[in-house]
Chain A
Amino acid sequence: MNEPRIVFDNVSRFYGEVLGVNRVNLSILPGVTSLVGPNGSGKTTLMNLMTGLIRPTRGEIRVLGLSLERPEEVFRKVGYCTQFDAFPKGLTGYEFIYSFLLVHGMIASEAHKLTMQALDRVSMTAAGDRLVAAYSKGMRQRIKLAQAMAHGPRVLVLDEPLNGLDPMARAETIALFQQWGGEGRHVIVSSHVLHEVDRISDQVILLSHGYVVAEGQIQGVRSEVKDQPMQILVRCDRPGMLAARLFERDHVVEAKVHADGKGVLVRTRDADSLYLLLNRIVMDSGLEVEAVAPADDDVNSVYQYLIGPEGGAA
């Protein structure tokens, strides 16, 4: 089977009385997919499910067309980097990656070659012969990433992979995710850092209390949130006049001159009508418009609208 998707078909997982995730239907395509949600929303449960570490109470999961009942095939295609700093005692970075490649079934010479490649990809070649216990938090995070991708998985599941990384390492790691995504791999990332999720992701999955609240490209998700007026920033030469004209319309909830005096921040219930109106104003009054851009179609805004500031479903 060459189906390039990770499919959750009505999947639920309960821990006794406690809900992990409920009625999840997903079809995840290659690229970088971010799982976003507050603590306890089900992100790690979803990751554990797609890596076969726990079984669904109900429903079915297929990874690239493979059932998780066939772990020998599935685990060759999946690499998992957990959020925990767990390393066997007394191993160097090199030994850490190398030994788990042997567990994977690689022969010694191949395992050595792949280990060196993995160390190189996370810029850890020079530190490979040092004990993991002596690594900084950022180095440990990178060596975990290296062990997750060393065997060349097509699906990378990374739980909070940017934690503990300094800005430079974050930028490098994000570039790595985008490169992996660009190669046609699935890179599933969970993160609390919403502005980074925006930069990384091709699509997002928003979770709250074990339910998938929204999924897809973030602009698409935002446009589906009808009960929250869209925010649009219009950069122009006469913001006061524009604000007055816009405010005459019913669908415009708010029109506020921007703090720098060079634009208007508009909240509207009907973005399409606003764009038409804007065209008319430009034609009628000769307004010079420099830029028109949505101001709240990022993950942070969508998260606030759908999940709420405290992490409870809005």
Chain B
Amino acid sequence: MAVYKQTYRGYDGPLTPAWSRFLILPRYAFEEMRRSRFFTMFFLVTMLAPLIFGLIVYAEHNLSVLKMLGGRGDLVAIDARFFLNLLGWQSMMAFFLAAFVGPGQISPDLANNALPLYLARPFSRAEYVLGKMSVLLILMSIMTWIPGLLLFALQGSLQGGGWIGQNLRIAAAVFLGAWIWILLISLLALALSAWVKWKPMAGALLFGVFFVAAGFAGAIDAVLRTSWGQLLNISHLIGTVWASLFDQRMHRGAGAVFFRVHVEDVPVWCCWAALLAICGLCLYVLGRKIRGAEVVR
């Protein structure tokens, strides 16, 4: 047996805090996205709606603009429905973004057996998922609740008179409603990406889960003369939850584009439970698929 001198010295320099290391992953993902002209254009387009909504808020409080538009007040009511419409539109854009960006986060690593690169380090599976998910969390936050709250602040500053204090529920609803959507879509995008390990298929599946399930829900309702089929309809679930967050008495049909609100169809708590179940299922899939080494069966 050879006798070795222990000349080796390991690294004993400074280290960054463990909690911050997951943020290394989005850094390179953003750099790659920046190189995509399509993504950059799309992201800029998603900022148009907040800009238009901001102009409406500004016009609503600017006498000269109101005179130019005919001199009447109340161009648009700046209320819960206004913010819900903004949230609905931006969330739809965020969904398209998630379908574009989300599937590319995990599936290439799984398809190429790259997970040991991350997991044979002081870096856990949860940190890996959080790192990959943070790409979506950051981008979708910029698109949803951040402009929502900025508009809320703009409206509050222009309106004055304690408007912010009287409408804090709107701000909370924008923040919470956006985060529910962001978490749901991020988890769905990552779970599908991990499940099929193929980027285009994962993107297609995300649309399938959203639209095909909605169609299926409608068919169940029509055949069985019930409304419980809507538990499979994610737009219905999220719309109902948003309605409860913003204002329970809102009219049927509030929201934007595919977030239709049917507050009376399925109890709100059932919608919450269904959303939690979807998130739980996504976490289960991620837990099964995100492993340092492929499990042979």
Q: Measuring CB to CB, which residues of chain A are less than 8 angstroms from any residue of chain B?
A: 4, 15-18, 20, 29-31, 44, 48, 51-54, 71-72, 75-80, 82, 84-91, 95, 99-100, 102-107, 110, 114, 147, 151-154, 180-185, 202-203, 217
Q: Which residues on the A side are within 8 Å of B18 (C-beta)?
A: 72, 105
Least Cβ–Cβ distance between B17 and chain A, in angstroms: 8
Decide yes or no whether B292 CB sits under 8 A from chain A.
yes
Decide yes or no whether B119 CB sits under 8 A from chain A.
yes
Within the assembled complex, what's the spacing in Å between the Cα atoms of A16 and B295? 9
Q: Measuring CB to CB, which residues of chain B are less than 8 angstroms from any residue of chain A?
A: 1-2, 4-11, 13-16, 18, 21, 24-25, 27-28, 31-32, 35, 108-109, 112-114, 116-124, 291-293, 295-297
- Given known A-B contacts A54-B293, A71-B124, A103 and B118 have beta carbons under 8 A apart: yes
Which of A31, A76, A104, A105 has its CB near the most chain B CB atoms (within 10 A)? Answer: A105
Residue in A84, A114, A152, A153 whose CB lies within 8 Å of B112: A84
Q: Are the CB atoms of A154 and B120 closer together than 8 Å?
A: no
Q: Which residues on the B side are within 8 Å of A89 (C-beta)?
A: 32, 108
Q: Are the CB atoms of A18 and B16 closer together than 8 Å?
A: no
Closest 10 CB pairs of A and B: A53-B292, A86-B114, A80-B120, A84-B113, A86-B112, A184-B6, A105-B15, A183-B8, A152-B11, A184-B4
Q: Which residues on the B side are within 8 Å of A80 (C-beta)?
A: 116, 120
Q: Are the CB atoms of A90 and B35 closer together than 8 Å?
A: yes
Within the assembled complex, what's the spacing in Å between the Cα atoms of A76 and B15? 11
Q: Are the CB atoms of A18 and B297 closer together than 8 Å?
A: yes
Which of B7, B18, B28, B116 has its CB near the most chain A CB atoms (within 10 A)? Answer: B116
Q: Are the CB atoms of B10 and A102 closer together than 8 Å?
A: no
Give the dominant DSSP class at B's interface. Answer: loop
Q: Which residues on the A side are within 8 Å of B2 (C-beta)?
A: 31, 181, 202
Q: Are the CB atoms of A53 and B16 closer together than 8 Å?
A: no
Chain A residue with the shortest CB-CB distance to B7: A183
Q: Are the CB atoms of B297 and A82 closer together than 8 Å?
A: no
- Given known A-B contacts A52-B292, A54-B293, A78 and B8 have beta carbons under 8 A apart: no
Residue in B7, B31, B112, B122 whose CB lies within 8 Å of A90: B31
Q: Are the CB atoms of A51 and B122 closer together than 8 Å?
A: no
Q: Which residues on the A side are within 8 Å of B8 (C-beta)?
A: 154, 180, 183-185
Residue in B117, B123, B291, B293 whose CB lies within 8 Å of A86: B117
Q: Are the CB atoms of B109 and A106 closer together than 8 Å?
A: no
Within the assembled complex, what's the spacing in Å between the Cα atoms of A62 and B236? 52
Residue in A29, A72, A77, A88 whose CB lies within 8 Å of B1: A29
Within the assembled complex, what's the spacing in Å between the Cα atoms of A255 and B25? 66
Q: Are the CB atoms of A103 and B296 closer together than 8 Å?
A: no
| With A52-B292, A86-B113, A152-B10 already in contact, 12 other A-B pairs whose C-beta atoms are closer than 8 Å | A31-B2, A53-B293, A75-B123, A102-B16, A103-B21, A103-B24, A105-B21, A107-B15, A110-B11, A152-B11, A184-B5, A203-B1
